[in-house]
Every structure is written in C-alpha cells, then in structure tokens.
A and B are shown apart, each in its own frame.
Chain A
Amino acid sequence: MIRRRGLSSVVGAVFAVIALASTVGYITYSMNVLDNYNQSVLARNQQGADIVKEKFQISGVTLVGNKLNVTVVNTGSLPVNFTKIWITNKSATTTAWVKSYTPVNKVAAPGNTLTNIGQGVNTWLNTNYPYHVKLVTSRGNTQEFDVTSAANSKLDIRLYALPPTVVTSFSTELVMFVINNSTNGATLTNITPQLIDQGGSANVDSISGPTPSSYPTLLPGQSAYFKWDLALSGNNGDSRLYVAQLANGISGNTASATVSIVTVPISLQSGTSVQSLGLSGSTLPSNILLLHKENNTTPANTRQMWAASAETTGTVTYTGWASGGSPQVFTWITNNDTTDNIVPAGPWVLSLRYVSDKIPIGFPTADLIYHFETLSGTSLDSSGNSENLSPTGSPIVQNTGVNGSKAIPLNGNTQYLSHTGIDAHSNVVNNLASTAGWFKTSGSIATQRSIFHIGNTAANPFYDISLTSAGKVAFSFSGKSNGGSATTCTSLGITRYDDQNWHHFVAVKTGLNGCSLYVDNQIAAVGAGTCIGTCNLPPPGAFYVGNDPTNANSNFPGNVDDVIHWNSVQLTSYQVQVLTQKANYGPTAHTINVAIERVDSTNTNVLQTINSGLQTAIFPFYDPVTGGSPYNIGASSNYTTGNLGSVTFSGLNHGDRLRLKLNWSNGMNMSIREDDNTLSNPITSFLQVPDPSTVFPGYLSMSVGSNPTLYVQNQGPNSAWFSSLTRIVYKPVNGIGTSYAAFINTVNNTYAVTPSRDGPLFKVGQTEVLSFYPPSDPACGRVAGDQCNGGLTPMPAGVYRMSAFLSGVDDSGAIFLRTVYAGPIKVQ
C-alpha cells in the first residue's frame, strides 16, 4: 500500500515537473524576447534623439578653382558625418543635371569647423549658372543652399529712402533689405546688390555705396542690409526713382523708392529731415529710435530710447556674460504719451555699434593676440601692445579661418609672418608662459614645420611650437645661452595632426624646466627639462608665425589662426577648454535674443509682444583694433526681424511704451556703444521701426526757471523776421492744472525781440537760436516798464506737453505761423 502511494506521487511529480519546466521555460524565453524588443525600442529612441541633437550650420560657401568649397560648423553635441553632396544645375539655359558625390573630408567634431567640403568633388561649376546644393549626413539630416545665384524664387527685397523727402542739397540714405524667405530653407550665397537710377527731375549731387558691397552667405530667415548715401538738389516737388535688385537675381525681383525734394519756408533744425524737431539739440527721423544712456523719467531705471541724436560722448553696455552665469538683460524704453501712434507692418532693424572682446571674459591680460582678420601692411596685434606682424612672401587674407573667420593661409615655402624685436611681451623669461592657437595644414608634412617661434639665431635661447615630421605637436623651449638643455613636450600616441583639419593647441611653460601641452582640449604631453644654472635668458631678435628661421624648410603649410600669447601666465585646464570650445572670432561670435514689446506706461505689463526674441540674433566678431579706432566704421552690424505686423500704441491704454530688451544668449562678450555723438557713419546704436504715423514721445527735460532754447533753420525761399508773438507753451501731461507759456527773448542770444522790435533778418540757409524767458502763467517778456516782477506764476516742476508757436513775416510780405508739437518734457 505504501509503495503504490509512492508510485502515484512519483508519476504526478513527473508530470508536474514537466509542466512547470515547460511553463518556466516559456516565460523565460518570452521575457528574453521582450527584453530584446525593449532594447531595440530604446536603441531606436536613441537614434531618433541623435538625429535631433545633430546640428550643423553652413557658415560659408565659395567657389575655389570652380569647385564647391563649403564651410560647415558643427553646432551640436554629436559628431557629424557628411555622406553625400547633391549638386543640381538649375540653369534654364543649359541642360540641367543632378549629381551626387560622397565627400572625402567629411567628419566634423562637435564645436569644430569642417572646411573644403566639395573640393574633392570631380565637378567644376560655372559661376554664371545657379546651383542648388544639398548636404546629407549619416543620420539623414540635410541642409540645402543655392550657389552663385539669389535663388530661383523671389526674395523679400525692400528699398527705403531715409528720409524719403529732403531739402535741396541735403543728403538721404537708400537702405536695401534682402530677407532670405526661401521656402526651401536654402542658404543663399554671394548676395550682391545693384541700384538702378531710373531718373527723375531731381539732380544727383553725389552717391556712394553700397555698403557693404556684398554678403558672402545669407542663411534662411536672415536679412542682408545695404545702404547708399546720396545727395539731391532741385526744386520743390522734384524727385528721382531708384530700383534695387540683386546681381544674378530672378527677373522682376526688385524694390523701388522715390526721393523727393521739398522746400519749406522755415523749419526746425533737423539735420537732414524737415519733419524733425529740435529743442536744445537736433533730432532724428521719427523711425530711428536711438539708444540713450539716460534713465531719468523712465520706470524701473530702464534707459531712454527716442528719436533724438546722441547727446553725450557715449557709454558702453558691456554684456559681461560669463559661461554658466545668469543671462544679462538690457532694456531701453520710449516715453509714454496720450497720443496714438501706429507702426505699420514691416521689418524692424536693430543696429548695434559694438566691438568684441579680444579674448574670453575672465582671462588674464594677453601679451600678444593675432586674429588675422586684416592684413593692411601688417597683421594687427589685438592686444593693444602694437606688436604687429609683417608678412613675408605676400600672403593674403582669406575666409579660411576657424569658425568661419578670416585667416592668412601660408604656402609652406616662402610665406610667413614675423615681428622684429623681443620685449616684455615676448621674451618668455618668466617661469610661466602660455601660447594658444589654431592650425590646419593644407597637406601632410614630411619635415618639421613651425607654427609659432621666438628667436632668430641658432644655438641661442628659443621658444617654439611646431608640427614634427611625424605630424605630432611639439612644444620646446630653452633659456640657456646656447639653446641647450631644452624642455620639450611632444604629443603622445600616433595621432598625426597634419590631416587638413583644424586643431587647437595650448603650450604652457609651467616652470624653468617644466611644460605641458594641450591639443584639442586634451592634455597631450607633460615634460620636464634638465637645465641647470641660468635658464631664463630671452630668445634674440624676432618672433614668427609659420616659420622657424633657425630650421631650414620649416615654413608652415596651411592656416594658423587666433594665436594668443601670455608671457607670464600659466593657463588652467578650464581656460584651455574655453579657448577650444567656447571662443569664437567668426561671423557667429555673438548671439543675442532681441525682444520688442508694447508695455504699459509703468513698464510692468506687456500688452503686446512684437518680436518674441525666441530666436537668437547673430552678430559677427569685430576686432577693436581693426581700422585703427575702437569703434571704427566696420564695428556695426544689424539684426532684422521678419515681417512683423502693425502695432498700435494707443493713448486709450494710458500711454503705451515701446520696450527693447536685449537678452545676452551666447558667444563672446561685446561692448555695445550707446548715446555716442562722436559717431556718424553709422551712428551709435539704434532701433529702426517701420515709419510710424507720428514721432514716439521723447525725453526732453529742462530745469525749473531755466530759459528754453529752440534751434530753427530757414530753408527758404524767403528771408523772414521773427515777431514777439513767438512762444513756447506747456500743458500738464495729465490734463489737470495750469498751462504755461514762455515769451521769446532773444535771437542768437544777442538780438532782443520785443513788441516794438522784431528779430534780425533771418536769411535763407541760416540757423538761429531762439531763447525764451522762463515759462510762466501768463507769459511775460521783460521790457521797459515791465520787469515781470509780479502777477506771474512760474512754471513748477512736472511733466508737460510742449509746443512751439512760430510767428513772423517774410520778405515777400506773407505772414508765417506754425505750431509744432514737440512731445512730453520733464521740468525738474
């Protein structure tokens, strides 16, 4: 009985084990399959994320040797591998074709610039024909652009005359905007404007421009800005028509503007515009809102922005942004008033006058800085120490620098740059020193090639950074009198750096016998020397970029860029990283968010976002030394918004204000010049709006009890006399309280104007200064028998609306009366 019971248990157990094993096996297998599936899903998600993170920007497109030469900046965090170039001949006059190629030079590391894409393609392009090019990456992302042609679709081209009406012999400015609104997101190249004079009754006295002459590239959504200065003369009503178009552009893709001559009997001083006003200073066209540095009468200490010329020698808004720091926001605002103002639809332009930081913020002062942006006789030293480099072998500046900047390519044979004389900026006699820079060979090398060398005599002290015959980076120096016992750091491993790609080096002298070397932000070598005794003698003679005179055939073949030397500083590894990954001295050196808003009178509530500022505006690098003065003619660049809708600044909303906010985003720091009356071409920084229906309220101010002064100019055709009826009147801005008026006192501070005596003959073309008595209620002019000593209420402090009433008679016997509203004024 016991045995039978055991047998059935065994049988049951066998089946149970079989069933359990099968189930467990199935579940295990299922989970493995599901796990594999999950891994695939995760991998696919990662692949999708990589596609999104892959970012690159086409920073330059040229034709070199009739072959495509594309420069691309990897702006993402992943390497970009270009697997295909598609080139489409879009000519209508030749047989169109489409070809694709696999590029040779095709991988760009994050933050790096890849150049010469397309030079290996075996197709020669005709500069007279338009081509469409598409770059394809291994992840499937693409970017497209058109070459040698302003696309085959119409671009948004606008031409404005600023101002459109001028007094005879006065100048105006024709401004042309070209907005790349291509629907295919194509980058355009070689944007060259053409201005066609269609003739007219007005005479052209002079014309100059365009400035700039062309834009090498125009990215999607970006705009190009060209201007011509011209002076016209003629009679009232004469005009001249101008048409602007693009060279190689599509037929009929033009814009036109007419400039007219107006003659007014008298006008307020206005520079070039008869519609502008002037009180104690000149004003600008109503659509030019200058960034002023004053902040009186503005809410929250924001700075003033209004259509008045700069009144000071200027100040600087320094962005002061440090990596990882809080974004800096700078705000300017117009005054408020109860009048309505309508800004029509159109693009808004922010014109900044600025210079760029020479090196990143927080770095110690450098002794030598060479960005190689110009070569006018010499290549300038941006450090301010004037140790410029002289060229040998006639090298020329080209757009071959790192990050799309300029550089001076060297042929590796006869060309190099040098500076004669060794001093405290280059003698490397201190225990510490650092030298940084970029290099890119034009081909592989077989002998040692010098990048930067101090010293011109063999068997003497020297300081040298070279590429060795093995393609390695080597840093070597000796302070010995015979140049012996050198301390040397040579990059480890077998990596060759003569691979026609950009590489960054930082050579650091860490002591009399110590060195370290960074290549592409990685520590490449640490070395120690054996010098004993006097080891800190200066190298003799001169220092060089691209040559070592003590070593035959050491000329560097290719580009060297952004060489910076500190003669007594040891850079940290973080500073090395910033120099390698953050510093940018090219066309995308600065990025700013530009927000334009309509706010309430207290500057607390945003009533309307005109330009959100979500997209960054890009500004190029401007070297302070270029052109010889800190804020030279080139130190200006514009950001143009897209075509924004019309904006109504309504008095019903308690006096709207226009607010401009610059939110520092990324890149090098810049010093923005504002309110500088010493700058004229172009003027100091401003915001240009589409022509408003009236001038934005300004920020005039005067002291209690002071004498207002008004500037006027007679534009003809008749001479005239001012009478004592001329007044300036003030009305409280809130409409409550007493109004006041000021009686005219003198002309040109010399000639009294009284009820019994008019002002002197005001001839055509003359400018006069009208001085008034202090405002009061009623107005009073001191004459014999009335010294205004009683019965008057002087105008107290407050905010008023001011108008000028001009009265007189001209030499034709006609009376002239004119009232001009000058806007709010603060009496303080």
Chain B
Amino acid sequence: MIHFVNRRALSTVVTTALLLTAVAVMGTGVVAWSNYNLRSFETNLVTSASNNTNKINEAPIIENVVLVPNFPSNGVNSVNVTVTNVGTVGFNVKTITISDSTQSATKTVSGGNVNPHSSSMFSYVYQWINGKITTVQVMTSRGTVVSTQAMQP
C-alpha cells in the first residue's frame, strides 16, 4: 500500500516537472519572440523618427542663382546655384534639377554636404535661354526639396 502511494507520487512529480519544463520552454519562446518583435518595432521607430526629425530640422534655401553666359568663354552657358543651410542640422545636396519650358537636366551632386549656417555653391553647365524662366530645384538626400526661379532678361 505504501509502495503504491510512492509510485503515484513519483509519477506526479515527473508529470509536474514535464509540465513546468514545457511551460518554461513555451514561455521563454513567447517572451523571446515578443522581445524580438518589440526590438524590430523599436528599431523601425528609431530609424523613422530619426529620419523624419532630421528632415524636419534641415532647412536648405537657395540663396542665389546666377545664370552665367558663355561659361567659361566657350559658348556654353552655365548656372551657379548657392545653397545655404539656415537650419540646425547638416544636409547633403543630392541632386539639382534645372529646367525651363523646353528642357530639363538633373545633376547628381558629389560632395554636397552643407553644414549648419554655411553655404555652398554648385556650378553646372546648362544652356539657359534669354527671356525664359529657368527653374532650379535642389533635393537633399533626406528628400527635402526647395526650388526657385531665375531669368536673364
């Protein structure tokens, strides 16, 4: 009788241990899975917030546009674009698109980094036309776009 009771107790212990092990494994898995997901969300949130914050804080302006004739005395016109950073974070000028009603050209900028409160001038060959409005559009690597227009009378 006593022996019988002992066997029953052993089986209860084993069962309990198995159950606990199973719960621990499943619990650990669920926790690990949820933590992984949370980390992913967190990483996405950080990246998104950082990008958007920087995009909001960056403030490029086109300070001046000079339509240069015959640059440099070879019969080809050019455009000098001065971009100024009036914001609090630096930005990188990625492309400058120059266009008028008859043509359009997108220039990829290398070395377009502009620090806060400083300016950079970018010069590109472009056959602008007297009397036509020339539109200059500057796009940063974060996607901020500013544009202005100039015309040589």
Contact, CB under 8 Å: B56 / A100: no
B53 near A22 with CB under 8 A, answer: no
Known: A11-B27, A33-B46. A98 touches B66 (CB 8 A): yes
| Interface stretch of the complex, out of A134-142, A320-328, A483-491 | A134-142
Query: Is A152 part of the binding interface, using a Cβ–Cβ cutoff of 8 Å?
Result: yes
Cα distance, A84 to B62, chains bound together (Å): 13
Q: Which residues of B lie under 8 Å from residue A805 when comparing CB positions?
A: none
Q: Is B57 in contact with chain A by the CB < 8 A criterion?
A: yes
A815 interface contact, C-beta 8 A: no
- How close is B132's CB to chain A, nearest CB, in angstroms? 14
* Interface: B87 (CB within 8 A): yes
- A671–B120 Cα distance when bound, in Å, is 53
In the bound complex, CA of A84 to CA of B84 (Å): 10
A15, B34: Cα distance in complex, Å: 11
Q: Which residue on A lies nearest to B118, using beta carbons?
A: A83
Interface string of A8-38 (1 = CB under 8 A from B): 1001101100110011001001100110110
- Chain B residues contacting A8 (CB-CB under 8 Å) are 19-20, 23
Assess whether A264 is interfacial by the CB under 8 Å rule.
Answer: no
B16–A140 touching, CB < 8 Å: no
Q: Let me know if B84 and A140 touch, CB within 8 A.
A: yes
Does A47 touch B at the CB level, under 8 Å?
Answer: yes
Annotate A46-90 by CB proximity to B: 1 below 8 A, 0 otherwise: 010000000000000000000000000000000000011010100
Does B141 reach chain A (CB closer than 8 Å)? no
**Least Cβ distance of A324 to chain B in Å?**
35
**In the complex, how many angstroms separate the beta carbon of B106 from the nearest chain A beta carbon?**
24
Chain A nearest CB from B41 CB (Å) reads: 7
B49 contacts A33, C-beta separation under 8 Å: yes
User: Is chain A's interface secondary structure helix, strand, loop, or mixed overall?
Assistant: helix
Q: In the complex, which of the residues B31, B82, B84, B153 contacts A19, with contact meaning CB atoms closer than 8 Å?
A: B31
Q: Which of B16-50 contact A (CB under 8 A)?
A: 16, 19-20, 23-24, 27, 30-31, 34-35, 38, 41-42, 45-46, 49
Q: How far is the CA of A98 from the CA of B81 in the complex (A)?
A: 12
Q: Does A413 contact B (CB under 8 A)?
A: no
Q: Check A153 against B42 for contact (C-beta < 8 Å).
A: no
Measured between C-beta atoms, what is the minimum distance from B8 to chain A in Å?
Answer: 13
Residues B23 and A11 in contact, CB atoms below 8 Å apart: yes
Q: How far is the CA of A43 from the CA of B54 in the complex (A)?
A: 12
**Chain B interface SS verdict (over half):** helix
A7-B153 in contact given A34-B49, A36-B53, A140-B59 (Cβ < 8 Å): no
Residues in chain B near residue A23, CB distance under 8 A: 38
CB-based contact B63/A41 at 8 Å: no
B92: CB under 8 A from chain A? no
Count of CB-CB pairs between chains A and B under 8 Å: 80
Find out whether the CB atom of A44 lies under 8 angstroms from the CB atom of B117.
Answer: no
A37 touches B49 (CB 8 A): yes
Q: Nearest Cβ in chain B — how far from A6, in angstroms?
A: 12
Indicate if the CB atoms of A37 and B52 lie closer than 8 Å: yes
CA distance A22 to B87 in the complex (A): 37
Whether the pair A40, B57 counts as a contact (CB closer than 8 A) is yes
B64 touches A100 (CB 8 A): yes
Known contacts A29-B42, A134-B64, A140-B86; is-contact A11 B53 (Cβ 8 Å): no
- For the complex, give the distance between the alpha carbons of A152 and B80 in Å: 21
Tell me, in angstroms, the Cα distance from A549 to B19 when the chains sit together. 107
Partner of A84, one of B20, B24, B63, B69: B63
CA–CA, A43 to B49, complex, Å? Answer: 15
Tell whether, in the assembled complex, residue A36 and residue B64 are in contact, meaning their CB atoms are under 8 Å apart: no
Partner of B64, one of A34, A86, A153: A86
Task: Determine whether the beta carbon of A140 is less than 8 Å from that of B61.
Answer: yes
Q: Flag if A138 contacts B31 (CB, 8 Å).
A: no
| A40-B57, A140-B61, A140-B86 known; A7-B20 Cβ under 8 A | yes
Q: Across the two chains, which residue of chain A brings its CB closest to B68?
A: A98
- A165-180 CB contacts (< 8 Å) to partner B: none
Which of A12, A41, A98 is B56 in contact with, Cβ under 8 Å?
A41
Task: Determine the residue in chain B with the shortest Cβ distance to A86.
Answer: B64
In the assembled complex, the CB of B59 is this many whole angstroms from the nearest CB of chain A, namely 7
Q: A8-B20, A40-B53, A44-B57 known; A15 and B31 CB under 8 Å? A: yes
A18 to B20, CA, bound (A): 17
Instruction: Specify the chain B residue showing the minimal Cβ separation from A152.
Output: B153
Known: A11-B24, A22-B38. A44 touches B56 (CB 8 A): yes
User: When the two chains form their complex, are residues B30 and A15 in contact, meaning their CB atoms are under 8 A apart?
Assistant: yes
Q: Is A136 within 8 A of B35, CB to CB?
A: no
Minimum CB–CB distance from A740 to chain B (whole Å) comes to 66
> Is A47 within 8 A of B153, CB to CB?
no
**Residue B113 CB within 8 A of the other chain:** no
How many Å lie between the Cα of A9 and that of B61 in the bound state? 63
The reply to whether B38 and A26 contact each other, CB–CB distance below 8 Å, is yes
* Neighbour of A11 across the interface among B20, B42, B84, B86, CB < 8 A: B20
Nearest CB on A from B17, distance (A): 10
Minimum CB–CB distance for B82 against chain A, Å? 7
16 A–B contacts from the bound complex (CB under 8 Å):
A11-B23, A14-B27, A22-B34, A29-B45, A30-B42, A30-B45, A36-B49, A40-B57, A43-B88, A44-B57, A83-B84, A84-B84, A98-B64, A136-B64, A140-B59, A140-B84
Closest 7 CB pairs between A and B? A140-B61, A15-B27, A40-B53, A140-B86, A33-B49, A26-B38, A44-B56
Residues of B within 8 A of A (CB): 16, 19-20, 23-24, 27, 30-31, 34-35, 38, 41-42, 45-46, 49, 52-53, 56-57, 59, 61, 63-64, 66, 69, 80, 82, 84, 86-88, 117, 119, 153
- Add 10 more A-B contacts to A30-B45, A98-B80 (CB < 8 A): A8-B19, A8-B20, A11-B24, A22-B31, A36-B49, A96-B69, A98-B66, A100-B82, A140-B63, A153-B153
